[in-house]
A and B are shown apart, each in its own frame.
Chain A
Amino acid sequence: MDSFRSLTGARPIQDLFLPSLAVVPLVQYPGARAEWVVETGQTVAEDQILAQGLGPGDLPVHSPIPGRIVEFREIALPGGPVCSAALVRLEGEFRRTGRPSFKKDWAMAGEPELWERIRNAGIYLSSSPLDPRRTLEQLASTLDALVINALQPEPYLTLSHHLQTERAGDLAEGIRILQKLFRPRKTEFVSDPEVPEDWARTFSPLLTGVTLHALEFKYPQAQEGLLLQTIGVKITPGMGNRVLILDAASVLAVRDAVIEAKPQVEVTVVVSGHGVTNPGAYRVRIGTPLFQLLRDAGGVTPGDHKILVGGPFQGKSVDHLSTPVLKSTQAVLVLDKDEVNQAVQRPCIRCGLCVESCPVGLEPLTLHKALVQGNIGLAQDEGLAFCIECGICSFVCPSRVPLMAEFQDAKEASRGL
């Protein structure tokens, strides 16, 4: 499987323009619960809190631009959910942007203060703790392992790669901050660099007490269970309280919150695929509609495209380009037909490619045969429950059998039993 690193890899991160009309949804990440604390017509400042989280683990939403709230509208986000969004028209002056940033010290600060900075920034941490019921603060000092996952999770998604290249120092500083906050027994830093020696040479002087792992790109090597096994962290039941996996973007967001008190109104997004003229990584405010993002990044090539938020395996289709960038957006892909390679479904020819590529060791074609007959019991005997839903089987199947969808359906059905 191609990583498509060559499309975006070499280019530096560029800043994009601010949106003149920002669309800020209430739901910025899966599972968000928040409520608005502003009203229509209200003037808001940059970084002002627009919505408060409902529960202790829920994040506030800050305004990405200074302006006036024009209206609240229901919008449909990629993947389905409909939620309320605030439309903010740009006006007024900037509080933070364009002014010199004020770096705060953290080495001397106490932990409660650091936690407060993080909480106020409303940072969305992807690859969140394995046990979502506990907040990050509760995890502190119980951690066996802190794992920094700087792997490329799927083809095209080279965000970690960009961040490691351009902000290595900040990334290392972020790791040190995390080590102070969590005091884990061990820290692992995992990456899949093109040149492992260079990468190790860059990071080893910056980090102490951190084990570096350089892996090859092989989807789904970033899947949590697989990753932990590869680096040697044992998987045990109830370990959600003792292992924390964070990706590179999250680490940098923590560092920015602690040192510059920056709330998360800006994300770095990888724009890739053969359908864009200038693939690369771009810094953009949340709330920027996709059509503006794509236009400012250089535009889209002529032809029919499939547009995704996220990667080809776990991403969601975009229906309309007024969909905004969210805190949880890491990539926008514009794919044309020869990248998608869709085809009509045909009978299974027993080529065995799915068996060869399954990381768990299942036989997807056998599972498929059992499920086609409606025999979920037989499928479970064959190991259906072990499926990690990575989607490689569907990807390689020449007959385009929707294997992963079938397995997901069957697992849902068996959960309901």
Chain B
Amino acid sequence: MNFVDIVFASFLANNLLFFHYFGLGEFLGGPGGASLGKRIGVLSALLLVSTLMFWSGDHFVLGPFHLEGLRTLLVFLVLAVVILTYSALLGPKPRTWPPARDFLVHSFLVGGVFLVGSSNGEVLAVLVSALAVVLGYGGALVILAAVFGRLSRERIPAFLQGLPLQLMTLGLVWLVLQGLGFAFSGKLS
């Protein structure tokens, strides 16, 4: 897989996209809305379905006709379906067409996930990875809610409150997670 795929998959897609759909933005001033569990459920289902759709389109349509270059277009199409369905199920009254800027951003982002997934080739691996991302992210939100709740009671200096504190918190979380790489084919000592 090439470098661009990796950037999409690991940096943007896992953060900003789910930021919006999950409402982590609640802590950073973003939208609220339906309960966390419901959102996890809906988005999981949508991601699974859309991954399948993408994969099928890629495998059965683009592949045989050697039209891989049109993947981006396929991503847009799948994305449109995903976003419309999501808004219809959970959001406020759906407008007929989401704002163009949001739509473009989301397309590229989610497309990144799919690009990475599809280069893997196996449908099951792709589905599993998509589901794992959703669940892991939802879980992280629950944890972070509690952490920020506890931090709200501490005496934080004024110049650190708000965004700096959240960034530092997330930075510490990253510090923890970066040490937890696993390689399941290693030997026991």
A372 CA to B154 CA in the complex, in Å? 9
Q: Tell me the bound Cα distance from A373 to B155 in angstroms.
A: 7
Residues of B within 8 A of A207 (CB): none
Q: Please classify how large the interface on chain A is, using the bins under 10, 10 to 19, 20 to 34, 35 or more.
A: under 10
B93 on interface, CB distance cutoff 8 Å: no
Closest to A366 in B: B153
B134-166 Cβ-contact flags toward A at 8 Å (1 or 0): 000000000000000000011100000000000
A382 and chain B: residue at smallest CB distance: B153
Complex Cα–Cα for A372 and B155 (A): 8
Per-residue CB contact flags for chain A residues 358-378 toward chain B (1 = under 8 Å, else 0) read: 000000001001101100001
CA distance A164 to B178 in the complex (A): 68
CA of A366 to CA of B153, assembled, Å: 8
How far in angstroms is the closest Cβ of chain B from A384? 14
With both chains docked as a complex, state the minimum distance between the C-beta of B1 and any C-beta of chain A, in angstroms: 46
- Give A369 to B155 CA distance when docked, in angstroms: 8
A59 and B153 CA atoms in complex are apart in Å by 50
Contact residues in A for B155 (Cβ distance below 8 Å): 369, 372-373
- A370, B152: Cα distance in complex, Å: 9
Residues of A within 8 A of B153 (CB): 366, 369-370, 373, 378
What is the CA–CA distance of A34 and B80 in the complex, to the nearest angstrom?
Answer: 87
Chain B: CB-nearest residue to A370: B153
Decide if the interface of chain A is mainly helix, strand, loop or mixed. helix
**Across-interface contacts of A378 in B (CB, < 8 A):** 153
Residues of A within 8 A of B154 (CB): 369
B182 to chain A, nearest CB (A): 32
In the complex, what distance in Å separates the CA atom of A378 from the CA atom of B155? Answer: 14
With CB as the reference atom, state the residue of chain B lying closest to A375.
B153
Residue ID in chain A nearest B152 by CB atoms: A378
> Please, which residue of chain A has its CB at the minimum distance from the CB of B153?
A369
| Bound CA–CA A369/B154 (angstroms) | 7
Q: Nearest CB to that of A372 among chain B residues?
A: B155
Name the B residues within 8 Å of A369 (CB-CB).
Answer: 153-155
Most-contacted residue by chain B among A366, A369, A370 (CB, 10 A): A369
Nearest B-chain residue to A367, judged by Cβ: B153
- B contact residues around A372 at 8 Å (CB): 155
Cα-based distance from A80 to B153 in the complex (angstroms): 36
> With A and B bound together, what is the CA distance between A381 and B128 in angstroms?
43
Within 8 A of B (CB), among A214-237: none
CA distance A369 to B149 in the complex (A): 13
Taking CB atoms, residues of chain B closer than 8 Å to A373 are 153, 155
**How far is the CB of A296 from the nearest CB of chain B, in Å?**
53
Closest beta carbon of chain A to B153's beta carbon, Å: 4
The complex places the Cα of A372 from the Cα of B153 at a distance, in Å, of 9
Task: For A370, list chain B residues within 8 Å (CB).
Answer: 153
A373 to B154, CA, bound (A): 8
A31 to B155, CA, bound (A): 41
A369 to B153, CA, bound (A): 6
Closest residue of chain B to A365, judged by CB? B153
Distance between A262 CB and nearest chain B CB, rounded to angstroms: 57
Q: Which of A322-369 contact B (CB under 8 A)?
A: 366, 369
Cα distance, A68 to B120, chains bound together (Å): 107
Shortest CB–CB separation between residue A176 and chain B, in angstroms? 55
Report how far A44 CA is from B155 CA in the complex, Å. Answer: 64
**Nearest opposing residue in chain B for A378, CB measure:** B153
A371-415 CB contact bits vs B (8 Å, 1 = yes)?
011000010000000000000000000000000000000000000
A366 to B154, CA, bound (A): 10
Contact with A along B1-14 (1 / 0, CB 8 A): 00000000000000
* A373, B151: Cα distance in complex, Å: 13
Interface string of A162-186 (1 = CB under 8 A from B): 0000000000000000000000000
How many Å lie between the Cα of A332 and that of B142 in the bound state?
A: 54
Q: From residue A366, how far is it (CB to closest CB) to chain B in Å?
A: 7
Bound form: Cα–Cα A370–B153 in Å: 6
B30 CB to closest chain A CB, in angstroms?
Answer: 24
A192 CB, min distance to chain B CBs, angstroms:
38
| Cα A370 to Cα B149 with chains together (Å) | 12
Question: In the complex, which residue of chain B has the Cβ closest to the Cβ of A369?
Answer: B153
| Docked CA distance A378–B153 (Å) | 9
Q: Tell me the complex Cα distance, A269–B155, Å.
A: 47
CB distance from A367 to the nearest CB of B (A): 10
C-beta contact mask, B159-175 vs A, less than 8 Å → 1, else 0? 00000000000000000
The complex places the Cα of A373 from the Cα of B153 at a distance, in Å, of: 8
Q: Which of A366, A373, A378 has the largest count of B CB atoms less than 10 A from its CB? A: A373
Instruction: Give, as a whole number of angstroms, the nearest-CB distance from B38 to chain A.
Output: 27
| Cα distance, A96 to B153, chains bound together (Å) | 65
Give Cα A370–Cα B150 distance, bound, in whole angstroms. Answer: 11
B156 to chain A, nearest CB (A): 10
Within 8 A of B (CB), among A34-69: none
Min distance, Cβ A387 to any Cβ of chain B, angstroms? 18
Residue of A nearest to B156 (CB): A373
Quote the shortest CB–CB distance from A161 to chain B (angstroms): 43
Task: Give the shortest distance, in Å, between B69 (CB) and chain A (any CB).
Answer: 58
9 nearest CB pairs, A to B: A369-B153, A370-B153, A373-B155, A366-B153, A372-B155, A369-B154, A378-B153, A373-B153, A369-B155
Instruction: Give the interface of B toward A (CB within 8 A).
Output: 153-155
9 pairs, A vs B, C-beta closer than 8 Å: A366-B153, A369-B153, A369-B154, A369-B155, A370-B153, A372-B155, A373-B153, A373-B155, A378-B153
Q: A369-B153, A372-B155 are in contact. List 7 more A-B contacts (CB 8 A).
A: A366-B153, A369-B154, A369-B155, A370-B153, A373-B153, A373-B155, A378-B153
